[in-house]
């Protein structure tokens, strides 16, 4: 990547999350305790985060963070807000676990009311997130459903906006990733499901959201380092992340005159249910993130601050930007 290209990415935005939490606890009650409004934030200490080799405790799709070993840190005890998103209304897809959960916690602690979408099978994780949002005195809305349906996507936006009393931020974060050894093993059904979840859904959701959004609104898309450096066993997933990157840049240009910003976050290897529920082989999972300069997978808490930055009204001149967190692996081209 040239120096000119590198300058197109925002490299700032300090992460305000990162402390280790008790990874083994997986009950709703313990999540409420960790997310309580009076809880003291722990000091950031990424050095204590787990490193490879990781356990290979696989789960069926879509997987639950509450059953992962080790359990991910979403910032339950570490993220401390400062009112950056006070009064905002946000909808986050895939908000029950992983990066979406970390964003939901951060948004609530920055003063936003939050609606999350997830699959019905992810209800146990979603209940924990709702408790964490409500512990901050913010409104939480839980709307399960399948994003592969255009009809549901439109209904999701409508329900979220109606129950929140408006919509200022849309985070297109949910994704499907299933590893396959070769292109011959990627069925048309899987290819279609991946495209519907990762490309069609953000398109449908954004169209519906724009009918309700005004100046000052923000759309935040989740891309990936896979957009510029695809792994062969998830090439079908990587294609969708590249599409989201271009969608972000093109849409930002269209919406700038309306005062609506569009940014993306490009994660590297992060420890989420996406990996343990078919997104990686057991062999890949065991060494997940080992090839990054940091030598480990990132924890969702370590990227939450970038989702806040991408939507922060103070960064009103930043649109069409890609916020990266890849553990030193660089940015997608």
Q: Which two tokens stand for residue 178?
A: 């299933």
Q: Helix-strand-coil percent breakdown of the chain, rounded to 5?
A: 45, 10, 45
Is 118 catalytic? The answer is no
Q: Which two tokens stand for residue 268?
A: 């590297």
User: In angstroms, rounded to a whole number, what is the distance separating the alpha carbons of residues 120 and 231?
Assistant: 30
β-strand pairing of 140-144 with 89-93: unpaired
User: In angstroms, rounded to a whole number, what is the distance separating the alpha carbons of residues 37 and 42?
Assistant: 14
DSSP 25-72: ---HHHHHHHH-TTPPPPPP-GGGS--SSPP----STT--GGG-SSPP
Q: Which two tokens stand for residue 318?
A: 């930043």
Do residues 301 and 46 touch, judged by C-beta distance below 8 A? no
User: In angstroms, rounded to a whole number, what is the distance separating the alpha carbons of residues 85 and 32?
Assistant: 22
Q: Is 87 exposed, middle or buried (0-12, 13-18, 19+ CB in 10 A)?
A: exposed
Catalytic position from the list 54, 118, 200, 237 = 237
User: In angstroms, rounded to a whole number, what is the distance separating the alpha carbons of residues 77 and 256?
Assistant: 36
Residues with a catalytic annotation lie at 237
């Amino acid at each position: 990547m040239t120096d000119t290209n590198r300058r197109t990415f925002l490299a700032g935005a300090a992460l305000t999350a990162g402390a280790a939490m008790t990874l083994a606890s997986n009950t709703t009650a313990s999540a409420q305790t960790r997310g309580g409004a009076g809880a003291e934030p722990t000091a950031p200490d990424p050095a204590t985060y787990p490193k490879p080799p990781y356990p290979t405790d696989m789960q069926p799709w879509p997987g639950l963070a509450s059953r992962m070993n080790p359990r991910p840190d979403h910032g339950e005890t570490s993220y401390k807000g400062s009112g950056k998103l006070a009064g905002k209304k946000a909808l986050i897809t895939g908000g029950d676990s992983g990066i979406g959960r970390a964003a939901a916690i951060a948004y609530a602690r920055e003063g936003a009311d939050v609606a999350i979408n997830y699959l019905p099978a992810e209800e146990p994780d979603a209940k924990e997130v709702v408790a964490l949002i409500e512990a901050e005195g913010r409104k939480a809305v839980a709307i399960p459903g399948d994003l592969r349906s255009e009809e549901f996507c439109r209904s999701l936006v409508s329900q979220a906006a109606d129950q929140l009393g408006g919509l200022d931020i849309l985070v297109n974060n949910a994704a499907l990733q299933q590893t396959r050894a070769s292109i011959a093993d990627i069925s048309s059904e899987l290819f279609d499901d991946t495209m519907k979840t990762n490309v069609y859904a953000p398109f449908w959701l954004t169209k519906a959201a724009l009918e309700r959004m005004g100046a000052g609104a923000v759309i935040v898309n989740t891309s990936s380092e896979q957009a510029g450096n695809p792994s062969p066993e998830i090439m079908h997933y990587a294609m969708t992340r590249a599409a989201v990157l271009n969608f972000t840049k093109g849409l930002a240009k269209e919406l700038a005159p309306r005062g609506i910003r569009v940014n993306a976050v490009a994660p590297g290897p992060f420890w989420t249910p996406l990996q343990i529920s078919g997104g990686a082989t057991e062999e890949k999972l065991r060494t997940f993130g080992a090839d990054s300069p940091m030598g480990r997978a990132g924890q969702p808490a370590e990227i939450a601050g970038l989702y806040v930055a991408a939507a922060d009204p103070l960064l009103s001149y930043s649109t069409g930007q890609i916020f990266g967190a890849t553990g030193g692996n660089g940015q997608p081209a």
